Structure 1
Amino acid sequence: MLDAGLKDQLKAYLGNLRQPIELVASLGEGQGSKDMLALLEDVAAASDKVSLNLAGDDARKPSFAIERDAKDSPQDKVGVRFAGLPLGHEFTSLVLALLHVGGHPPKFDAEVLDQVRALEGPFRFETYFSQSCQNCPDVVQALNTMAALNPNITHVAIDGALFQQEVEARQVMAVPTVLLNGQPFGQGRMSLEQIVAKLDTGAVAREAEKIKAKDAFEVLIVGGGPAGAAAAIYAARKGIRVGVAAERFGGQVLDTMAIENFISVSHTEGPRLVAGLEQHVKDYDADIMNLQKAVGLVPAQTPGGLIEIKLENGASLTSRSVILATGARWRNVNVPGEAEYKNKGVAYCPHCDGPLFKGKRVAVIGGGNSGVEAAIDLAGIVAHVTLIEFDSQLRADAVLQRKLASLPNVKIVTSAMTTEIHGDGTRVSGLTYKDRNHDSAHRVDLEGVFVQIGLVPNTEWLKDSGVALSNRGEIEVDYRGETSLPGVFAAGDATTTPYKQIVIAMGEGSKSALSAFDYLIRLEPAVPAQSAAA
């Protein structure tokens, strides 16, 4: 099952096991069970601390549990299970689950791990994933870690492509989808901190109190994507007090599958790049405040005074200078049915959710690079793809258009405006578009709609702040990254800087940090940082 290179890596990783573990397999007669047996045999052969038990009787077949001996210590009982093969993006989830059940300490903040251990439960989690989903591993790994630490928590990760009947019965149409005690808990990427915050209702209030007590910063970056991370590194290297308030560290890059134009790195993936960015920021003395959504900006009342950033949890942060790097999000098509059927057939990530539509009919809205790439990827999975483009021609690169045109199960419709997404109350059943040349309406019967029409800046919270925005909602900046407000700078996809690219965002973030530092040293007189609690 595993090639020689993976076997060597696995053997090295499992050398960190601190106590014996057992793989308890529940297998059937199909090819999936044969593949799982081969995988588990490879895992067991990689360490003398791993044993294989084929007497499992779980209803989901094929599946396996990862257990440790809890005869003498019931509190050490573990409930970690994989239903389906944890390969592709989930192979790392398997390795980490083996290590954490085997006693190797998870690499999370100690305070968060203490919160996990204190949860009373019972919490029975089920996560539906696909092997091609880059958002799923974070969720699977977080819940596996929780189950490894707390006997009141169990988790089973289920490959939706392998358990199609179950997916249909539970109307799972997007991954990752998480159920708690049989009821919907969440969809999409979630970090351990986000999951714990949903379970520990007092966590938000406690975090707000901690933030209120923080002293003012010299530079405060709002946003944790490539622009925000670069700004934090450049500012922290100046030896000044730097803070980063991010709704989700990594931003849109976390949802990016393949990155092949990051200079000097021929290929990487979004989550891997974000992990490197976060570690690089942590190498410096920067205060990272994750899961903090900004909802307001109050300009300094005097030249060189403190700028206030209001947060959703009721707390505020103050700083002598601020860098806005809030990035952008997927643009909605904004037609009837889109909101109603989001995650019920309306999707935004073909890599994540494509496998759930195997053998079905789907549409892709958007004829740029993202839309055409999505259609090409989906054509290898689904029965038929209809690509709908508003313009009279596709806008994607020529090489992508040639590839798309060569696929037999793709129909390209241009000069078409999507007017409605239809459904039966539980899932998508079709789409209507208007032919812009003849003003006629056409309905396409299908089961899924993938929206790929670009990005919208995350700047709604700035509309009454005094920060000048373009008619597209982008923050207006000059060549130094300065905004219309003194001491407020901006960088990345939320700004008017053209070409929304990772490498450009990093450069703009670095420039904004240098501009902010230049602003600080030229203040006359310098205003000392004051306590936010004062």
Structure 2
Amino acid sequence: MLDAKLKNQLKAYLEKVTQPFEIVASLDDGEKSRELLGLLEDINGLSDKISLSTDGENERTPSFAINRPGEETGVVFAGIPMGHEFTSLVLALLQVGGHPPKVSDEALEQIKALDSEMQFETYYSLSCQNCPDVVQALNLLAIFNPKIRHTAIDGALFQDEVESREVMSVPSIFLNGKPFDQGRMTLEQILAKVDTGAAERDAKAMSEKAAFDTLIVGGGPAGAAAAIYSSRKGINTGVAAERFGGQVADTMGIENFISVSKTEGPKLVSAMEEHVKDYDVDVMNLQRAVTFTPAEQEGGLHQITFESGATLKSKTLVLATGARWREMNVPGEQEYRNKGVAYCPHCDGPLFKGKHVAVIGGGNSGVEAAIDLAGIVGHVTLIEFMGEMRADAVLQKKLKTLSNVDIILDAQTTEVTGDGSRVNGLSYKDRTNDEIKHVELDGIFVQIGLVPNTEWLKGSLIEMTPRGEIIVDAHGMTSVPGVFAAGDVTTVPYKQIVIAMGEGAKASLGAFDYLIRH
């Protein structure tokens, strides 16, 4: 199952195991069970601290548990965790085997203190780059708290469950049999949701912090670069982010980041986070900014208030709150979000295997999504508002070679339709004659660009364009002295990772220059 190179890599990792553990497989006579057995036999042969049993009685086959001797850890994989989930498997093996996880002592103590019986189930797809964060976080809860159980389920392999539980987006998390959440979640986010007092404690602690020299709001490429450049100047630097990594964490293939020929969003986010940790930066996650009060109204210090109730003050600010997927804003879109309306073809595409889906948008993102989905689903209908697609010629050429793709131009989506529980189609207006038409569908993937995250700044003194982008000067400063901005949230053209990083560095240098002059 594993090639020689992967075996050698895994064997090196397993040398870190300090205590024995057992893999208990639940198998049937099917091909997937034989594949899983091959994988587990390969793993078993790589360390004398591992034993393998095929006496498992889990209701899901194929599946396997990873247990300590005489103790069920509660970690179960239903399916064959390859692809993006192979890392989740490796970490589970190491952590059950006694190797310490890379999380703070505070987080581990918080996990151990949870006092409720919790049975988590996560549906993932092997092509989902967001799913491993959830699987690894919930595995960690199960490994370090005996009251918690977690089963990670390959949705493509257990299609009957996916259908019966109406799972149409991954990762989808269930707690004690009921929906818990959907989409990418970090360990911090999960703990904040199950430990209801955590957010209040964190908000109180944040509000008691001394004023920063530079506070960066946002943790994407622009925010990370700003934090590093600011901290290198030796000044008191903080980062408050809703989620570290921002939009990049949802990006699959990155092939234009200079000096790195190819990488993936989550890998780049992890590298950024580790780089920021090399410096004396106070990183505060799960913090969504809601109001800004300029220094002239707040005793000479800028103040940011967060959804948690926390407040932070700083001599200078770098606003790097980024952008998010633009929505269609038509009837039915919100009602059927994660019930057929999706925004990540890599994550959710496998759930629509053999079905008919639409992609909204004829730019690069839309055409790339249509090409990727065509290899998974039964049929793709690409819908473009304009009379021609805007994607690069090479992408359009590739798209037109695919036999299971239709292209509809001059089409304005007017409504998402469904049966009350899931999408069954969409209506659009033919812009050549204003006729309303309907397409029967099982899913809709929206790929129509980005919108800046600046709603919280409306009504403030910070000047923005009608589209909500923050206007900045050559140094990255906004219309408010001492407040800078960088990345996709600004008017700087070409929303690219490499540009956002450069703009973040420039904004923090501008903030430092402002500090020493004022």
Q: Same fold (TM over 0.5)?
A: yes
Distance in 2 of aligned mates of 1:314 and 1:292: 9
Residues 1:313 and 2:305 aligned together: no
Within 5 Å, which residues of 2 pair with 1:341-490?
341-490=336-485
Distance in 2 of aligned mates of 1:398 and 1:239: 48
Residues 1:34 and 2:34 aligned together: yes
Stretches of structure 2 that go unaligned for 5 or more consecutive residues are: none
Which of 185, 199, 202 in structure 2 is aligned with 1:190? 185
Residues 1:155 and 2:147 aligned together: no
TM-score, structure 1 normalization: 0.96
Residues 1:103 and 2:98 aligned together: yes
Distance in 2 of aligned mates of 1:449 and 1:61: 31
Aligned to 1:308, the other structure's residue is in SS state: strand
Distance in 1 of aligned mates of 2:464 and 2:392: 30
Tell me the amino acid that sits aligned with residue 471 of structure 2. E
Distance in 2 of aligned mates of 1:312 and 1:394: 40
Once the two structures are superposed, residues 52-76 of structure 1 have per-residue CA deviations (whole angstroms, 9 ceiling, x without a partner) of: 0011111100000000013xxxxx6
Q: CA deviation at 1:77?
A: 3.9
User: Which residue is equivalent to 1:528?
Assistant: none
Sort the Cα spacing of 1:432 and 1:12 in 2 relative to 1 into closer, same or farther, 3 A: same
Aligned to 1:493, the other structure's residue is in SS state: helix
Distance in 2 of aligned mates of 1:3 and 1:493: 41
User: Which residue is equivalent to 1:330?
Assistant: 325
Distance in 2 of aligned mates of 1:148 and 1:211: 30
Which of 132, 137, 146 in structure 2 is aligned with 1:142? 137
User: Which residue is equivalent to 1:266?
Assistant: 261
Q: CA deviation at 1:109?
A: 1.4
Distance in 2 of aligned mates of 1:339 and 1:303: 38
Once the two structures are superposed, residues 117-153 of structure 1 have per-residue CA deviations (whole angstroms, 9 ceiling, x without a partner) of: 0111200000000000000000000000110101100
Aligned to 1:386, the other structure's residue is in SS state: strand
Distance in 2 of aligned mates of 1:149 and 1:495: 43
Q: CA deviation at 1:314?
A: 1.1
User: Which residue is equivalent to 1:14?
Assistant: 14
Residues 1:56 and 2:48 aligned together: no
Distance in 2 of aligned mates of 1:205 and 1:139: 23
Tell me the amino acid that sits aligned with residue 313 of structure 2. T
User: Which residue is equivalent to 1:114?
Assistant: 109
Tell me the amino acid that sits aligned with residue 250 of structure 2. D
Check conservation: 1:304, 1:487, Cα contact below 8 A. Answer: no
Check conservation: 1:362, 1:386, Cα contact below 8 A. Answer: yes
Distance in 2 of aligned mates of 1:30 and 1:453: 42
Aligned to 1:456, the other structure's residue is in SS state: strand
Identity, % of aligned pairs?
A: 68
Tell me the amino acid that sits aligned with residue 65 of structure 2. A
User: Which residue is equivalent to 2:242?
Assistant: 247
- Report the count of equivalent residues: 518
Residues 1:504 and 2:504 aligned together: no
Residues 1:288 and 2:283 aligned together: yes
Distance in 1 of aligned mates of 2:105 and 2:388: 54
Supply the RMSD in Å over aligned alpha carbons. 0.9
Aligned to 1:449, the other structure's residue is in SS state: strand
Distance in 2 of aligned mates of 1:437 and 1:60: 52
Q: CA deviation at 1:302?
A: 7.2
User: Which residue is equivalent to 1:207?
Assistant: 202
Distance in 1 of aligned mates of 2:356 and 2:487: 36
Check conservation: 1:304, 1:320, Cα contact below 8 A. Answer: no
Which of 214, 222, 225 in structure 1 is aligned with 2:220? 225
Q: CA deviation at 1:215?
A: 0.2
Q: CA deviation at 1:313?
A: 1.2
Tell me the amino acid that sits aligned with residue 433 of structure 1. Y
Q: CA deviation at 1:166?
A: 0.8
Once the two structures are superposed, residues 165-204 of structure 1 have per-residue CA deviations (whole angstroms, 9 ceiling, x without a partner) of: 1110110000000000000001000001100110100000
Once the two structures are superposed, residues 486-527 of structure 1 have per-residue CA deviations (whole angstroms, 9 ceiling, x without a partner) of: 10000000000000000000000000011001100001xxxx
Check conservation: 1:227, 1:491, Cα contact below 8 A. Answer: yes
Aligned to 1:37, the other structure's residue is in SS state: helix
